[in-house]
Chain A
């Protein structure tokens, strides 16, 4: 039997997925999400960490519904396609550490690979430094892969394990919709359990129903098409395979066109929304992220989609990212619009060392 690939797994399929994500991201930003941040997996997980009180940076607290919707959209796609496979056992603790440091790197740059492309599509030229760093990080990851790096194989797991991340996603959505607030502090600010920024990026959001629908659709499309912003670069270097790259270029092109059409394009380095213009740390922050994502097998969006289709190890990576966001803000490692924090660069260097040690240390194949 010669198995035919489904439409979404074909080249037109990945292009449709990338273009859909680019347009949806631009429109979500137009409808209220922060500028050049229609979708940012790292930023949104950081906002979720804040909403849950895991960090207390008042400007970035919102239970972003797109993230749990990504997981549930992918779950639905995997169930319908017969591809839902609960599995675990591929060094989950190492994946937690990779997730945490990928987030710390992303918050030094101020965005994940998705947002790096979306920032560029909004005219933010600082993203070029971030993308250069991302490529460098992916090249580093390819170096380790070529010398036999592997976190080892995963094994089939009970169905219940594959439902844990979807259940967490449902719980987060329930909290996002109900937004329970059990009291007010002396200054009138809400005191948990779900925090919500009164100003700053965390206060800017598209209508929740639209965010959920957009997240479900993207989760579905990305699970079927295998969309991955890190695999896109990795596969070109490793296999000269441009398949995923077409999806990424479609994302960029569609977001650029949509931003121009909606009047949301501003070219330059200075005064860009939720960004700084320190080129060195834009580069090195994203290099750390790119290396960590490559060693974990995919970009932060991909980790969410894998979580939905039953990969509990990808779920641990996601939890690691959320923990990393908490550390990044509690330890004052995250950059701001004025530049890197005093401690962010040291954290990025420590991260590069730790992630490289994982790259050298985990070797299985001969």
Chain B
């Protein structure tokens, strides 16, 4: 995980269940309000992260980059 100015990046490519979601959640916990971008290569991991975002009331967007999905998680909605 590396952090630049306003985004925390998480590389969860090739991770089997439940690791991508664990990595995403731990990044969110440490993000301090920054947006978190999780890169995954499986639709399963993408869907799990989207579902978690919906459950916790967070904005979530998916960007397709070649064969990868980048899920961007915004701040929790008020």
Q: Which residues of B (37-74) have their CB < 8 Å from a CB of A?
A: 41-44, 46-47, 50-52, 55, 60-64, 67, 69
In whole angstroms, what is the CA distance A154 to B40 when docked? 11
Residues of B within 8 A of A156 (CB): 41, 67
- Chain B interface: which of A22-30, A230-238, A264-272? A230-238
| Residue ID in chain A nearest B51 by CB atoms | A243
Does B34 make an interface contact (CB < 8 A)? Answer: no
Does B14 make an interface contact (CB < 8 A)? Answer: yes
Contact indicator per residue, chain B 4-22, by CB within 8 Å of chain A (1) or not (0): 0000000001111111011
Contact indicator per residue, chain A 353-366, by CB within 8 Å of chain B (1) or not (0): 00000000000010
On whether the beta carbons of B50 and A5 are closer than 8 Å, the reply is yes
On whether the beta carbons of B44 and A226 are closer than 8 Å, the reply is yes
| Residue ID in chain B nearest A231 by CB atoms | B17
On whether the beta carbons of A1 and B63 are closer than 8 Å, the reply is yes
On whether the beta carbons of A238 and B52 are closer than 8 Å, the reply is no
Which of A2, A9, A90, A241 touches B14 (beta carbons < 8 Å)? A90
On whether the beta carbons of B18 and A90 are closer than 8 Å, the reply is no
On whether the beta carbons of A5 and B22 are closer than 8 Å, the reply is no
| Residue ID in chain A nearest B23 by CB atoms | A365
Q: A3-B46, A226-B47, A241-B51 are in contact. Are A154 and B14 (CB under 8 A)?
A: yes
Which of A1, A85, A155, A228 touches B42 (beta carbons < 8 Å)? A85
Does A273 make an interface contact (CB < 8 A)? Answer: no
| Residue ID in chain A nearest B43 by CB atoms | A83
Does A150 make an interface contact (CB < 8 A)? Answer: yes
Count of B interface residues, CB-CB < 8 Å = 28
> Taking the nearest CB of chain A, how far is it from the CB of B22, in angstroms?
7
Residues of B within 8 A of A238 (CB): 18, 21-22
Q: Which residues of A (302-320) have their CB < 8 Å from a CB of B?
A: 313
Which of A87, A145, A153 touches B22 (beta carbons < 8 Å)? A145
On whether the beta carbons of B52 and A153 are closer than 8 Å, the reply is no
On whether the beta carbons of B14 and A153 are closer than 8 Å, the reply is yes
> Taking the nearest CB of chain B, how far is it from the CB of A98, in angstroms?
12
Q: A5-B47, A5-B51, A85-B41 are in contact. Are A150 and B19 (CB under 8 A)?
A: yes
Contact indicator per residue, chain A 143-155, by CB within 8 Å of chain B (1) or not (0): 0010000110111
Given A156-B41, A239-B18, 20 further pairs, Cβ under 8 A: A1-B61, A1-B62, A2-B61, A2-B62, A3-B50, A5-B50, A85-B41, A87-B14, A145-B19, A150-B15, A153-B13, A153-B15, A154-B16, A155-B14, A228-B17, A238-B21, A238-B22, A241-B52, A297-B18, A365-B19
Question: Can you offer 30 A-B residue contacts whose CB atoms are under 8 A?
Answer: A1-B61, A1-B63, A1-B64, A3-B46, A3-B50, A9-B47, A83-B42, A83-B44, A85-B41, A85-B42, A85-B67, A90-B16, A145-B18, A145-B19, A150-B15, A151-B16, A153-B13, A153-B14, A153-B15, A154-B16, A155-B14, A156-B41, A156-B67, A226-B44, A226-B47, A231-B17, A238-B18, A238-B21, A239-B18, A241-B51
Interface residues of A (CB under 8 A from B): 1-3, 5, 9, 81, 83, 85, 87, 89-90, 145, 150-151, 153-156, 226, 228, 231, 234-235, 238-239, 241, 243, 297-298, 313, 365
